[in-house]
Amino acid sequence: MVVGLVSIQPFFGGEERIGSEIRLNGTAPILTLKQTDWFWNAFLPLGEPYNRDHPVVNVSGRYAVDISKMNLPPTIVVVAGFDILRDWQIRYYEWLKNSGKQVYLVDYPNMFHGFNLLPELPESDQLILEVKDFIHNVLNKVFTSLIHNLKQMTLSLPLL
């Protein structure tokens, strides 16, 4: 059973080139549009034409599944100010929120895509603490609910 989702700089996009892609392409560290296009092309299902609006690339786009009635776990979405995918990640966050899902946005405005892989950066440590707190809070709710249910079951057992 999945009880929480940690989404660190999710790799989403679409056919339309939006704000952060246009503004940061070629100037942001680590990632370019040429690279993202290559990754998406490699990731698309075999035999399907290249289309960045495919639901595996653009999960919240025009071909998105209606998730409003789905039971999805709480989600934390991490974004960075100098990530060319930032605006797509924020769209993902807003899609979850507008679909009635419990979602939290954590923004590192001075960081870039993949900053969490560099332990030399203090923000990398900070992110680990953010994720730890999220996991702790989610598991606390799960265990509290489990204990409550076990108590209810125990109270309903016949006495011998």
pLDDT in tens, the chain (160 residues): 899 999 999 999 999 999 999 999 999 989 999 999 999 999 888 888 889 999 989 999 999 999 999 999 999 999 999 999 999 999 999 999 999 999 999 999 999 999 999 999 999 999 999 999 999 999 998 888 888 777 777 777 676 6
Distance CA(122)–CA(118), nearest Å, equals 9
Q: Is residue 92 part of a domain?
A: yes
pTM over 0.75: yes
Which structural domain range is residue 57 located in? 5-155
Rounded distance, CA 152 to CA 137, Å? 23
Instruction: Please check whether residue 88 lies inside any domain of the structure.
Output: yes
pLDDT for res 160: 65
User: Is residue 102 situated within a structural domain?
Assistant: yes
How far, in Å, CA of 88 to CA of 72, rounded? 20
As a whole number of angstroms, the distance between CA 82 and CA 69 comes to 34
58 part of a folded domain? yes
SS3 assignment, position 81: strand
Which CATH number belongs to the domain containing residue 76 in this structure? 3.40.50.1820
In a domain, 160, yes or no: no
How many domains are there within the chain? 1
Identity of the residue numbered 93: Y
81 domain-assigned:
yes
Q: Is residue 78 part of a domain?
A: yes
- Predicted confidence at residue 112, as pLDDT, reads 97
